[in-house]
Structure 1
């Protein structure tokens, strides 16, 4: 068993040390540490249209698939609508039982008033008797009450409402059911009282066009904190958990990663150290992406797999440029040693993107991950908020913990005084900083490359000329006569011949 598999096997044993009930929503069990605890009640809250009913159908359908029985107590939408919703999302809920208490149901057509848990001697029918009868007949393993907030209209006051809901929850749990109650969360109708009556609270929100889900309460177990991305597609609902670097670790097996260009390796004291993060920093067109691909080309020759996430260049342009400088990007992809993924604006949330990285690292054994374009990273991913570099820090920590080499290209327009790897002053993120610059010599433009920082080893403190030719990268001898590279006005000594 590999180190990777061993690590995740151990973590899985810890997560599932308690018996769990699956939510049925891909990714949500991971948020809850394996799923719901049995015979508990969870409040699923959110505004209209947030997906509470779909979330509930996932839960009930998972139970049916596992040979369990389920009951949907619907006080909102009628049964026909809910069944149609289930079919549209591909749920097999033919075996699901319904107790129709919606406004369109027979119970609400007359003039009767209905009470919960009142004396059995009352003359009018009681909703609780309907529920009791259904529960006793079916003996459901899973129950959904959607939405439980409708009971507010049937109780004479808030105190009795809370007492009635607590009695209902305790009755269902005593009958061996695991329960979901849904709540229409709104400022006009707060549900704080309901949150105190249940074992877990799951909230759905819409944050600037990005659906999220988070768990604010979960008795009896720890959960993944924070707001996680929630998506609803034609196949139903999916949760993409936030990246937590501390949950991932492999044994340290660091080595040197050669570029295949001896002079560049000399600058780097033998190459990049694996399991570190290197920033390739410089202005547009200086060769940052090409330099990163050169390391991937050399790794491919050793059978190692790399993945490149491009935020600022389309696939055709990237391929044409790589092939033009003797980097056989098409062959590398065909041989499975390289994957290129172009990510357009608003295409992914930050949680989906980090899931892509985890899949490549943990399932497909990627040993190099390149993020091509910090500006595109900031602007393209939904959910990065006002501090996009905070997410890049997490990605960097994850890659380090997993022993994966990270390459990050960053476009800078000017370097003056103390070097900054990005305009946000994020050079501290990098274990190594490789700077590439355009310089002018007698009316011609040249490129130079140098190393400003390496945490893991010594490095050559010289600048070398860089050429990008049809045969690949060529790095020349050191240029001691070059001056001013860090002042923003690089040039050559007047006595150069």
Structure 2
């Protein structure tokens, strides 16, 4: 199997080379499929502009839009294609404005001029490295039957490859005009699609090499196309050693037998207002004192509210951000796709050396990110596996309304994702509300199996002594023993 990334041909589309493990294989033909408006021409311009930038010769064989439209499109996206060669075979092109009638057949087979021969002449004259045929499905109208169409397209593709060209063909994929036959004739097939909340790209065929599977997020902006690869945690791993991450609060560390184990996932679970975010930030504050960098992704609160709450309990968020030991990202509803979000996490971990990643709000995570599908928690599982593989400590806050003996981290039953589960809860005592904290689960070490009172003060977190007199915390209706004064 071909895996030499050094000899790959760049696609020109940011993010796509990662999916193709380096780019196209040289001297192969790729079919780019998609409905009208899916971006096939923009996709092709990325490829040709990248070639021109690398001093390669490019040829755009346009059978759909005229050359001036394509050049205007290139200018809109700031592609430099001044050196690009065009062979205009569109209905408004020079070739079709003469009185001659063109056919797909070889010129020796019929009396009318042949487009195949016309293309061959152009290839011989300019000897291109990259060739785009957009859209190749227009040739179907010029062939008397499907057999002749397939034969001529296969001959054309083989000729282009034999001349040393890497070829891109576009197809107007539609139920009214299936292109299954074209997919058999090429070396690779890339599908541009659209779901209810995002554009997608997936590779259904790629001879000679493995590729990253899945439907990846595709965006078209003023700068052109961008692909955000779907996270595959199995592709990422590095050597790691486990230590204890202290909270800086001795009693809380005692609950956790020294602190959180680095490189694990911890769920902070409890109702609204119980102190989950503050507890997570306390670990980040302590890590910052040791020069470690943390990233917090907030799905529940706006930036100003988060800052004010943290400062009010002696967690100097702004100072930590100024020192570069903390980054806070607030993710609004439908602001990002899941693939953009996981790409951000990868960048923070791999490029910026983040050692702690906190996802603040599983409900917001489920509801805010586009492209999560019907099972959003599967993506959180992948994120957790990725962080573990990279030796990064993950903290997830999860709002729950009731905790039973069989703990459920979410409605989907994601407790298996958590290496540790820290329970925070409000209880009533003599007409007042008090907070308690305890550890329900720790895979990596022993832990204290008692509950302690939790206070959030202007000086920070305060965790009290164990509360052996508190019972029923996991029933959802905790109570104090009758002999409590």
2:275–2:456 Cα contact (<8 Å) kept: yes
Partner secondary structure for residue 473 of structure 2: coil
2:422–2:438 Cα contact (<8 Å) kept: yes
How far apart, CA to CA, are the structure 1 residues paired with 2:407 and 2:186? Answer: 54
How far apart, CA to CA, are the structure 2 residues paired with 1:310 and 1:57? Answer: 37
Deviation at 1:335, TM superposition (A): 0.1
Q: Is 1:66 aligned with 2:91?
A: no
Question: Over aligned residues, Cα RMSD in angstroms?
Answer: 1.1
Q: Is 1:490 aligned with 2:478?
A: yes
1:202–1:217 Cα contact (<8 Å) kept: yes
2:352 to 360, 364, 376: 364
Partner of 2:118: 130
2:216–2:339 Cα contact (<8 Å) kept: yes
Partner of 1:291: 279
How far apart, CA to CA, are the structure 1 residues paired with 2:477 and 2:281? Answer: 28
Alignment of 1:229-244 (within 5 A): 229-244=217-232
2:41 to 31, 53, 60: 53
Deviation at 1:124, TM superposition (A): 2.1
Deviation at 1:33, TM superposition (A): 1.0
Deviation at 1:427, TM superposition (A): 0.7
Partner secondary structure for residue 86 of structure 2: strand
1:173 to 158, 161, 168: 161
Partner of 2:265: 277
Partner of 1:395: 383
Q: 1:15 to 1:319 in 2, by over 3 A?
A: farther
1:323 to 311, 317, 338: 311
Gaps of 5+ in 1: 1-13
Equivalent residues, number:
484
How far apart, CA to CA, are the structure 1 residues paired with 2:348 and 2:205? Answer: 32
1:117–1:167 Cα contact (<8 Å) kept: no
How far apart, CA to CA, are the structure 2 residues paired with 1:424 and 1:201? Answer: 36
How far apart, CA to CA, are the structure 2 residues paired with 1:187 and 1:239? Answer: 26
Runs of 4+ in 1 over 3 A off after TM superposition: 14-18, 109-113, 119-123
2:66–2:93 Cα contact (<8 Å) kept: yes
Deviation at 1:105, TM superposition (A): 1.3
Deviation at 1:350, TM superposition (A): 0.4
Partner secondary structure for residue 150 of structure 1: helix
Per-residue deviation, residues 129-155 of structure 1 (Å, max 9, x unmatched): 221111111100000000000001100
Alignment of 1:232-271 (within 5 A): 232-271=220-259
| TM-score normalised to structure 1 length | 0.96
| TM-score normalised to structure 2 length | 0.98
Partner of 1:465: 453
1:164 to 152, 159, 174: 152
Deviation at 1:15, TM superposition (A): 5.5
1:366–1:404 Cα contact (<8 Å) kept: yes
Per-residue deviation, residues 284-332 of structure 1 (Å, max 9, x unmatched): 0000000000000000000000000000100000000000000000000
Alignment of 1:34-49 (within 5 A): 34-49=22-37
Partner of 1:184: 172
Deviation at 1:121, TM superposition (A): 7.0
Q: Is 1:438 aligned with 2:451?
A: no
Q: Is 1:219 aligned with 2:191?
A: no
